[in-house]
């Protein structure tokens, strides 16, 4: 039986990119230019201001961190919030970066989306490091969101929130390039829209459902195997620690005062235990 409880409440307008940093949990509130950190042993929440909004984080092979900003990658000091900007990315007009992941070689991968949520304007991009040139590797997406490598790095899973699909891109060995994607699932009959994604310690795929108030576990055939309710409508991101505890970020964006009163944990970080 899973247990869900509110661990920290920074009232994030948009809670994004939950990551585990040692014993701590870090995540982002991009509109607020904030890097958030919750330290479980003390139950302490700290907020670090950022000079530029970051939409996602990824840990590099050397233990350092990278972030996807609006239009470029940054090297990120996860403690001080200091940012070192990389080159401008060749984004389409009206687009910005969104979620990101890091491959086994330390390469950075991120998705993009149109600020006006226009279909087919999003894409995928790669850079060898935060200060390396950024190259486009896929196009034609709506909102490219949660990303993760599976099958020993031979496949890149990417959520397209606008089309409500989870796509699997074959990764070409030794090259920062992708083949034609296949649809893993369309989240049939699952409330809300798929947003962030994480791989649990047992290898299962979990997805945060924006507007659906839940995190869902996908079976190997793409079917929704389990749904765990989160007491907040907009669930945006999640991550697992090595023991299988899930940490789930939620948002307050576009919620009425009535809804916020009914779901006071919106904008907070939830802990989900007992999943495995």
How many distinct structural domains can be found in the chain? Answer: 1
pLDDT (0 to 100) of residue 1? 78
pLDDT (0 to 100) of residue 175? 73
Provide the b/e sequence for 79-101 (b: ≥16 CB within 10 Å): eebebeebeebebeeebbbbbbb
Domain range for 29: 3-273
Full-model pTM: 0.97
Residue 98 belongs to what H/E stretch? strand 95-102
pLDDT (0 to 100) of residue 105? 93
Provide the b/e sequence for 41-64 (b: ≥16 CB within 10 Å): eeeebeebebeebbbbbbbbeeee
Distance (Å, whole) CA 22 – CA 16: 18
CATH number of the domain to which 185 belongs: 2.120.10.30
Instruction: Output the tens digit of pLDDT for each of the chain's 276 residues.
Output: 789 999 999 999 999 999 999 999 999 999 999 999 999 989 999 999 999 999 999 999 999 999 999 999 999 999 999 999 999 999 999 999 999 999 999 999 999 999 999 999 999 999 999 999 999 999 999 999 999 999 999 999 999 999 999 999 999 876 788 999 999 999 998 999 999 999 999 999 999 999 999 999 999 999 999 999 999 999 999 999 999 999 999 999 999 999 999 999 999 999 999 999
Please say whether the dihedral angle defined by the alpha carbons of residues 93, 96, 100 and 106, taken in this order, is positive or negative: positive
pLDDT tens profile 187-228: 998 999 999 999 999 999 999 999 999 999 999 999 999 999
pLDDT (0 to 100) of residue 112? 98
């Amino acid at each position: 039986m899973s247990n869900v409880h509110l661990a920290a409440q920074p009232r994030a307008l948009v809670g994004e990119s939950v990551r585990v940093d040692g014993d701590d949990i870090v995540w982002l509130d991009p509109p607020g230019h904030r890097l958030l950190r919750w330290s479980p042993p003390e139950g302490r929440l700290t907020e670090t201001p950022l000079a530029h909004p970051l939409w996602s984080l990824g840990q590099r092979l050397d233990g350092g961190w990278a972030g996807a900003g609006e239009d470029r990658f940054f090297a990120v000091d996860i403690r001080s919030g200091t940012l070192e900007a990389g080159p401008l990315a060749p984004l389409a007009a009206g687009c910005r970066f969104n979620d990101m992941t890091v491959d086994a070689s330390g390469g950075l991968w991120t998705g993009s989306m149109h600020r006006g949520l226009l279909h087919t304007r999003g894409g995928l991009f790669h850079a060898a490091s935060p200060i390396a040139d950024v190259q486009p590797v896929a196009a034609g997406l709506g909102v490219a969101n949660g990303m993760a490598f599976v099958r020993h790095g031979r496949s890149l899973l990417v959520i397209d929130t606008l089309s409500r699909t989870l796509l699997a891109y074959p990764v070409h060995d030794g090259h920062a390039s992708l083949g034609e994607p296949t649809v893993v699932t369309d989240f049939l009959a699952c409330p809300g829209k798929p947003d962030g994604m994480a791989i649990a310690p047992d290898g299962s795929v979990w997805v945060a459902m924006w507007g659906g108030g839940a995190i869902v576990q996908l079976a190997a055939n793409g079917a929704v195997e389990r749904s765990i309710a989160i007491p907040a409508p907009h669930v945006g991101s999640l991550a697992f620690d090595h023991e299988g505890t899930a940490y789930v970020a939620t948002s307050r964006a576009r919620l009425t005062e009535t809804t916020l009163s009914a779901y006071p944990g919106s904008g907070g970080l939830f802990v989900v235990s007992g999943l495995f």
